[in-house]
Amino acid sequence: MHNPLRSETSTKLKELVEKGLQEHLGSEAARGVESFQTCRQKIAKMVNSNTFEYAAGMVILANMIVIGIEAQESLNLDQLEFAEYTWPWFAERLFLLIYSVEIVLRIIAGGCAALKDPWFLMDFTLVCIGWAALLFLPLAGVDALAAEKLLIVRGLRLLRLVRALRMINHFKVIWRLVYGLLTAGQTIASTTILILVSLFVCSCVAVELIGKDNDLLSDSTTGPIVNMHFRGIDRSLITLMQFVTLDSVASIYFPLIMLKPYLSLFFLGLIVVVSIGLMNLVTAAVLENAMQAAVQDAEAEKNEMMNTVKEAIPELLKIFQSIDKDNSGILTRDEVLSVGVDIIPQKFLQTVHVGSFIELFDYLDVDQTAEHLGSWLYLPAVFASGSLCLKPHSKSMLIPTNFAEDSTQQGFSSTIWEKGHLARTFDMSMSEGLVRVSFDRFCVLSEEMSDERRWGAVSAAVSAAGLAALAEKRRARAARADPALAVVERPPLDNREYKPITLQNGLRVLVCSDRAADRAAAALDVHVGYFNDPPEVQGLAHFCEHMLFLGTEQYPDESSFDAYLTANSGSSNAFTEAEDTCFFFSCSTAGLRSALERFGTFFQNPLFTSSATEREVNAINSEHLKNVPSDVYRMGQVLNSRANPAHPYHQFGTGNIKTLLEDTASRGIDLRAELVRYYRRYYRAPLMTLCILGDEPPDVLARYAEQFFGKVPGLAEGEKLDPAAAYADQPLFLPEAFKQGVEAVPVADARELQVVFPVPFAPGTRIVAAEEAPDSPVRGSMTVDSWRWYSPTSHVGSVLGHEGPRSLCALLRRRGWITALEVGSADDTSTFAVVVVSMELTEEGLTHKDQILELLFGYVNYLRSLSVWPQELLSENLQLSDAGWASREKEGPMDSAVRLVGNMQDWAFPRDYVRGNNRLRNGPGLEGTVDALLQFLRADNAIITVVSRNFEAEGNETEPWYGTRFRRRQLSQQPRWLRVSAAPGLGLPDPNPFLPRSLELKAPRAEPSSKNAVVLPEYKIDKVWEAFFTPDMEYGVPKAYAFIELRTKLPRSSPRAAVCARIYESMFEQALQETLLYDADVAGLAFNFTTSMRGVELFFGGFDDRLADFASAALGALLAFDPTDARGFRAQADLLQRELESFATQAPSSQAAYWTGLATVVDEISFKELEAALAEVTARDVAAFASALWASPVVGISLCEGNLRQSEADSLISNVRKSLKSENFIAVPVSEWPTPRVAKVPANSFGPGVVLVNQIMDPAEENSAVELSFQAGSTRSGSAEDLQYLSELQVLTSVLSDEFYEELRTRQQLGYVVNCRLDRGEGAFRIVFLVQGAVLRPVQVLDRIDMFIEGAMSLIDAKSDKEIAALADALAQARLVRPQQLAEASQRRWGEIRSRAFRWQRRLEEALALKAVKKQDVKEAFRRWLAPGGSERRRLVSFCGPAQALQTLAAELEGKGAQVVTDPQNFARQQPQWPALPVSDKA
């Protein structure tokens, strides 16, 4: 009977039991699943770790070693396989078991996803093959050898080994190559198919062309080749496969081509397409895939770094909090100075690559102030956001673009700024959905930003007080400066990257990154010079400049800096001016960092040792003695002596032993103490500007600046330093100076009229701080801003110094009173400048000096009376300046650095650092500034000086420092000059007809394919003309150059011919200046006509737009010129006469070199022969010479290079040849062409050798010069031996040069001019030792040089093999420096052509030879050429000095076995000659 209640209860009970059972089973299952998941996670972590990868890699490596041993042993035992239960049998199964466990672990860790990993699939396949070979195939009865061969594929596991090692830096390249190979499979397959198709087609062609050719079949040599390789498609296809790898193919194609030359086209095409083209495609594909692998590895490394840094954050916070002594939330440099790095987690240090806490400080220096780290409290939020991108030495953050309300960069910047959330936004770029903000422009964000934007927590954690101050400081800075002022303006052809920075100490820096640079350089300018010399220690600034090179605390060796630069193919120098002292150096790019480290110590802790102080005074005095005969220094000091005695312009800036040693001693002044006081006062960072130019990125160069110059002393808070304040209020000249003229006596036979107009600047800033073009200055005054911004001297000088038909210069030349007139500015300081008008007078002009002055002031009065300066003149100057700027090429690194630091002292904003005054500026104040300058060009504001030897008897005063005699005379005509009118015929210049119309480039600009790439010129040759042409595709300059040489013996056939040639050249130049040459020169076009031993040399160059027309006009004018004008002849003959007489005033070192030249260059004409010939030459003789000259050439040579098409170059040269009537040239063999030849100095193994003794001709000269040289070889021979000799001598010179300077100049103080150098005059190379000074007699100086040479071997021995190799490498790198400008590149190529060398790769050849030089080679070179007993010791000594120093010299040396030469020209003719260069192929 059915009971419903019981049934219901039973049902409920059943449900409860089932439910409880399910819950119990479910919880057990859940726990099981959870346990499995935990286990799986641990396995996954283990499998994905680098340690697991490394372990697997080591197992694979061990397996491969075992396989190799097994294979070798099986051969040795002569058995196919090892017996069971031997060690190889166990090893194979053990490794297979390990691999199987690895497969299982990877399946557990990755699940089904593991099957998508190509590496896993490869491993799985290899394991399956292994089990099949060891277990299943033997069971199936497969032979053991077949199974063994199947196991060969185990070697593929080595790829896994490479993959594991990819995480180690040293193996990353291997991994990238393997990855590229593996992922390029499709490309390789496609290429293989293409190669097979190409080979099949070529096989068909080969069968037709070769296999069926009866001539080839019947020939005894080619017949077997054809039958073997080309009688059938199969044979032909197999043969052509050899061409893919070029495997012994020459034996196949060479006999065929010799019999059938047209087959060269077939084989050449096959090699180019298949062997080169298609195989390189495979290489490119592998490389592309390898680069992709590098990107992926970098991303993986970044993620690993981020995880490591995140883990370290809690501990870092605790450390920072313990260091933060004042609990301000901001760490300062002082707080971390004494903190050791060992408190930082080791793993964190290894990740960020810092070795000290200070480095970590700089690494996280948010503000880049180098003073505080900023709030350390923001670190948790930054790292938690995952937005910080850390790399070694990188300072940047990545912020999601959804942080901004606008997805554009502009929207980001403006939106955040308007809400007040951003203290400053600069240096931002959009990339892959992220905005990058540099740490040094760190964003301070408000709490208004939501958590979703991942940055809300930052401002909540920031120390409000500290960051508020920083933000306010930045807002004020940003509000003051237009960002455009910080962008450096540069010429279009300048591809350098400029970055201006200001260090914390106030030093302004410009870093210039030139990734293509071959050389590096740096310059530092201190804005203080001899104007701040104490009156009682004149020359102190110059002395300080010298002393800074003589050791620092870190580098106490006085020669340390120079030695380092020499080892890195560099050099250094410095100069002192009125308001600036500039130090600079250049070196290899690799040596820049260490050079900067040494250079920086100059300005932090120089030694200024007492011994060096005393010695360097002698060097200063030697430099002064060197300058005493120079009229440039003498007349400059005469001008200075007329200045206001209270103004430093009046002082003696160079200094000498009297001012620095004798006067200080008599006054009880400690020179060293005064030097230290001067240095500490003025060598401060805010007065300095620094430029660093290298091939590294700007940020790296900026770090160098901070690292090596950041500790240069700055100014204390509130301290001001203005060196010019000491003299700014003093007038430059007192009124009396303008009322008197001076007539001064020069050393050389010069005649000059100089008029100096001082232009004082109105009180105000001493640096151009104008953000935009300034207005005109008040009439009658001038400001620094207007002077430098508008360069009014350029505009006034272009009219006052013009040489065209209505110019002052042309008028004075026509009257025969002057030969030259120049206008320019000088002594451009922060408080004044001077405008100088200088005229070179004829003898007749000297007697009319007052009339000349009247004409000058009349013309100036006319210009000043113009109501408005003509706009067309301003426009023309601006147009020419713009064209020059557009075509301005890069300067060499050292020249650039020196110019830039000077510009930085003159211009406040980085915008103007490069431009400076290199490009004229327009603006509303231009006309007014020109007018303001004209107000200073008045007769009553002129300092007038006339220079001539004619005043010698009348000189009644002596300038104290140089001994220049002069007299003063009252300028009684000054009132008349103030109101005189312009002479009839004077006016404004006509428009320039040569202004460039187009700057279009004829060929696309392209970077050279390699550093040593050389473009070979095209050439066309006939019997009487060799024409070369090279288009410019590297420099991209709208200019071209045409070099032309007409070989003829006539110009140097006799002294008389040489004199006629010189007068003819200068007469033509003077005559054509007015009508042609001056306008062309102003418009950037040049024409030179000169003569030499080789013949006639013509040069045309400049903007190619007008070059052809100008060349035609200039050459036509030259050929039509009539040199019979008596006045023109007298002027140029007089000029040549004075030039020859000025030889007596040349420095002793120059005269010594002159006598050496007479004794070694065959048929050189002496100045005495020229003087004798000049006395007899007439205008008719010059005319007769000119007529004969153009009929005498035997051949013409030309090179056209630059922005020209081939047709344009051909047309230019064709017109030149028509004008010269080259068809009438008389062709002669190259051996008869006139070529300079060098005599061989006789070999003299012992003794003084060949000696020249000549008296200096200036009786006032105190210095003597000793030039000792050793000839070694000829660059003209073209032999490998001479190339080797040249390289060895270069390295030997490099080893000796610095030590020679240090020993004889620095330690022994024998003179200011001391050097050891390599000379290559006219193709013969020699090593030269030169000393000029007045300390010892010349024979004693020679003894000191010989003592140095005797000890030179010890200097070589002291160098290690590695050091010699480094010197050789540095010299090689210097030889490989590419020309910076088109003109330099053209000159190099022209040198190869005119010398008949045609060695287009000369510098590369020399560099390779240098790299091969070893220490033993240098020692052998020294023994061969310099050491007594040397087999090739060709020694020549040239002495030149005062008579009293040479009285017994010749006799003394003859007693020691010297060959004293009294007739150097005859000596040269009697000696054998170094070989002339053989003619080689033009290519």
pLDDT recorded at residue 126: 73
pTM: 0.69
* Secondary structure string (H, E, C) spanning 124-183: HHHHHHHHHHHHHHHHCCCCHHHHHHHHHHHHHHHHHHHHHHCCCHHHHHHHHHHHHHHH
Q: Could you give the CA distance from residue 1407 to residue 1419 in angstroms, rounded to a whole number?
A: 20
Sign of CA pseudo-dihedral 1425, 1428, 1430, 1431 = positive
pLDDT recorded at residue 730: 96
Tokens coding 1: 């009977």
Answer yes or no: is pLDDT of 439 > 90.
no
Q: By percentage, how much of the chain surpasses pLDDT 90? A: 61
Q: Could you give the CA distance from residue 1234 to residue 1224 in angstroms, rounded to a whole number?
A: 18
pLDDT band at 203 (very low <50, low <70, confident <90, very high): confident
For residue 1435, which of 1329, 1338, 1331 has the smallest C-alpha distance?
Answer: 1329
**Residue 146 to residues 87, 90, 134, 202, 1458, Cα–Cα distance (Å):** 21, 20, 11, 39, 90
Contact 623, 512 (CB under 8 A): no
Answer yes or no: is pLDDT of 767 > 80.
yes
1431-1459 pLDDT, tens digit each:
999 999 999 999 988 988 999 999 999 99
**Residue 983 to residues 800, 853, 860, 939, Cα–Cα distance (Å):** 14, 12, 11, 16
Average pLDDT over residues 296-318: 64
Answer yes or no: is pLDDT of 456 > 90.
no
- By mean pLDDT, which of 596-600, 1139-1143, 1150-1154, 1328-1332 is the weakest? 1139-1143
For residue 555, which of 708, 359, 366 has the smallest C-alpha distance?
Answer: 708
Answer yes or no: is pLDDT of 777 > 80.
yes
On the 0-12 / 13-18 / 19+ scale of CB atoms within 10 A, 1384 is: middle
Contact 1440, 1151 (CB under 8 A): yes
pLDDT recorded at residue 223: 86
pLDDT band at 89 (very low <50, low <70, confident <90, very high): confident
pLDDT band at 1332 (very low <50, low <70, confident <90, very high): very high
949-961 pLDDT, tens digit each:
999 998 889 999 9
pLDDT recorded at residue 124: 78
818-871 pLDDT, tens digit each:
999 999 998 899 999 999 999 999 999 999 999 999 999 999 999 999 999 999
Angle at 420 between CA 418 and CA 424, to 5 degrees: 95
pLDDT recorded at residue 1253: 96
1454-1473 pLDDT, tens digit each:
999 999 999 999 999 999 99
1278-1326 pLDDT, tens digit each:
788 999 999 999 999 999 999 999 999 999 999 989 999 999 888 799 9
459-499 pLDDT, tens digit each:
333 333 333 343 334 334 433 456 778 899 999 999 999 99
pLDDT recorded at residue 297: 62
Answer yes or no: is pLDDT of 23 > 70.
no
pLDDT recorded at residue 1055: 97
Say whether 824 sits in a helix, a strand or coil: strand
249-269 pLDDT, tens digit each:
888 888 888 888 888 888 888
Say whether 377 sits in a helix, a strand or coil: helix
Average pLDDT over residues 666-676: 96
Q: Are strands 571-576 and 581-588 parallel, antiparallel or unpaired?
A: antiparallel
Answer yes or no: is pLDDT of 359 > 60.
no
Answer yes or no: is pLDDT of 27 > 70.
no
Q: Could you give the CA distance from residue 1107 to residue 1204 in angstroms, rounded to a whole number?
A: 10
pLDDT recorded at residue 431: 32
Answer yes or no: is pLDDT of 1190 > 50.
yes
Tokens coding 106: 């990877």
For residue 971, which of 736, 1187, 1277, 785 has the smallest C-alpha distance?
Answer: 736
Answer yes or no: is pLDDT of 11 > 80.
no
pLDDT band at 379 (very low <50, low <70, confident <90, very high): very low
Tell me the residue length of the chain: 1483
Answer yes or no: is pLDDT of 374 > 70.
no
pLDDT recorded at residue 429: 33
On the 0-12 / 13-18 / 19+ scale of CB atoms within 10 A, 1367 is: buried
Average pLDDT over residues 133-146: 58
99-138 pLDDT, tens digit each:
788 888 878 877 776 776 766 777 777 777 777 766 655 6
1087-1113 pLDDT, tens digit each:
999 999 999 999 999 999 999 999 999
What average pLDDT does the structure give for the chain? 83
pLDDT band at 440 (very low <50, low <70, confident <90, very high): very low
Contact 1233, 1024 (CB under 8 A): no
Average pLDDT over residues 1145-1151: 93
Contact 1376, 1404 (CB under 8 A): yes
pLDDT recorded at residue 137: 56
pLDDT recorded at residue 881: 97
Answer yes or no: is pLDDT of 375 > 50.
no
pLDDT band at 1366 (very low <50, low <70, confident <90, very high): very high
pLDDT band at 540 (very low <50, low <70, confident <90, very high): very high
For residue 206, which of 249, 158, 154 has the smallest C-alpha distance?
Answer: 249
pLDDT recorded at residue 2: 42
- By mean pLDDT, which of 83-92, 496-505, 1039-1048, 1128-1137 is the weakest? 83-92
Average pLDDT over residues 434-456: 33
Q: Could you give the CA distance from residue 692 to residue 499 in angstroms, rounded to a whole number?
A: 10
**Residue 925 to residues 783, 792, 823, Cα–Cα distance (Å):** 11, 11, 22
Give the strand order in the sheet containing 965-970: 818-826, 832-841, 752-760, 943-947, 740-744, 965-970, 957-958
Contact 1032, 1382 (CB under 8 A): yes
pLDDT recorded at residue 847: 97
For residue 1385, which of 1046, 1030, 894 has the smallest C-alpha distance?
Answer: 1030
Answer yes or no: is pLDDT of 154 > 80.
no
Beta bridge partners of 523: 584, 691
pLDDT band at 1478 (very low <50, low <70, confident <90, very high): low
The values of phi and psi at residue 706, to 5°, are -65, -45
pLDDT band at 286 (very low <50, low <70, confident <90, very high): low
Say whether 19 sits in a helix, a strand or coil: helix
pLDDT recorded at residue 143: 55
Which of the pair, 49 or 448, is modelled with greater confidence?
A: 49
The values of phi and psi at residue 3, to 5°, are -110, 110
Average pLDDT over residues 1213-1236: 92
Answer yes or no: is pLDDT of 623 > 70.
yes
1270 DSSP 8-state letter: E
